[in-house]
Structure 1
Amino acid sequence: MDASVWIVNIVVLASVLGTDLGRRKVGMARLLRPAIVAAVIVPMYVKHPATSGSGLVLELAAAALGLLLGLGAAALLKVRRNPSDGVIYTHAGVGYAALWTAVIGARLLFVYGSNHWFTEQLGRWMTQHQISVDALTDALVVMAIAMLLGRTGTLAAKRRTAVTGHVATGASAQRTQVVR
């Protein structure tokens, strides 16, 4: 596997932790930034996506796992509406950072292990299942991007809920609303 997996994972981790840790305003730029990151990363690093067979199954499974992990991360991201000015913001703490770091660390450990610890076993498995190195690399990149987009899609939905929940509550607008 090449450096693309390392680069994508480090960019995703830095992007997520840099924009989510602590108390952060949820604006359109924050919601669009991950889509822009995906639009740049996918064409740059997913060069030969599998279109059939086990490689395609692996890539789709990695995308599904990434999406589920993104939803899990989003569950740790609290969304609140400030009653005084109506600003929507998030709060992410240690658990959120730990999940992202553990997932990305595990992916990077797998990449390292595939090059240094279990190269022969992985090569045999890939040959038996007719999975190319490109398909495996693409699967890891797609998993990272799917996790990022899963988190962002959920954040957008929570933001919408916080906005519409405030309008619907009327008199209770004086309290800070939390969307879990």
Structure 2
Amino acid sequence: MDAGIWIVNIIVLASVLGTDLGRRKVGAARLLRPMIAAAVIVPLYVKHPATDGTGLVLELAGAAVGLLLGLAAAALLKVRRDEAGVVRTQAGAWYAALWTAVIGARLMFSYGANHWFTHQLGTWMYDHRVTVDALTDTLIVMAIAMLLGRTGALAVKRGNAAGLAA
């Protein structure tokens, strides 16, 4: 696995925990930043997306799992409108634990692919005609989908909270 997986996952974890932990205002910039990050990260790191076969199925499955994990993370974000009418989130230890566990698991898989189960993974990839690019892209797409899933759900929650007191 290349350094792109490490870079993307660390950027995602740092940006999410940096902008979500504690009590935070939900403004337009908070919703746009992840989309801008995805628009920059995808062309830089997803070089050769699979267009058919098991590689494509793997990449689509990674996107689906990432989206579901993003929705799970969003479920841990409390969104409320405060007395001043500002919509804010509250995220705590469970939210941080979910993000850290998911990203840690992806990074452990990446490390393990190079150091612990290289032969077994290589055999599986050969048998199923999955390229290293497809596997790398899957991990990156999963991270981006989780980020965007959380952001989309946050946008919906923000709209609901803003509409409640209006």
Cα deviations by residue, 1:120-155 (Å, 9 ceiling, x for unpaired): 000000001100000000000000000000000000
For the residues of structure 2 that align with 1:69 and 1:121, how far apart are their CA atoms?
Answer: 27
CA RMSD of aligned residues (A): 0.4
Residue 133 (1) aligns with residue 132 (2): yes
Question: Partner residue of 1:48?
Answer: 48
How far did 1:7 drift? Answer: 0.2
For the residues of structure 1 that align with 2:98 and 2:147, how far apart are their CA atoms?
Answer: 12
How far did 1:165 drift? Answer: 1.4
Larger radius of gyration: 1
Question: Partner residue of 1:14?
Answer: 14
Question: Among the aligned pairs, what percent are the same residue?
Answer: 75
Divergent runs of 4+, >2 A: none
Question: Partner residue of 1:38?
Answer: 38
For the residues of structure 1 that align with 2:91 and 2:162, how far apart are their CA atoms?
Answer: 19
Q: TM-score, normalised by structure 1?
A: 0.92
* SS, match of residue 56 in structure 1: helix
* SS, match of residue 130 in structure 1: coil
Within 5 Å, which residues of 2 pair with 1:16-165? Answer: 16-83=16-83, 85-165=84-164
How far did 1:166 drift? Answer: 1.3
For the residues of structure 2 that align with 1:152 and 1:35, how far apart are their CA atoms?
Answer: 8
How far did 1:57 drift? Answer: 0.2
One-letter code aligned to 1:129 = H
One-letter code aligned to 2:165 = H
For the residues of structure 2 that align with 1:25 and 1:59, how far apart are their CA atoms?
Answer: 33
For the residues of structure 1 that align with 2:5 and 2:135, how far apart are their CA atoms?
Answer: 10
One-letter code aligned to 1:125 = W
For the residues of structure 2 that align with 1:15 and 1:37, how far apart are their CA atoms?
Answer: 10
* SS, match of residue 86 in structure 1: coil
Cα deviations by residue, 1:42-78 (Å, 9 ceiling, x for unpaired): 0000000001110000000000000000000000000
Residue 4 (1) aligns with residue 13 (2): no
Aligned residues: 166
Ranges in structure 1 where 5+ consecutive residues have no aligned partner: 168-180
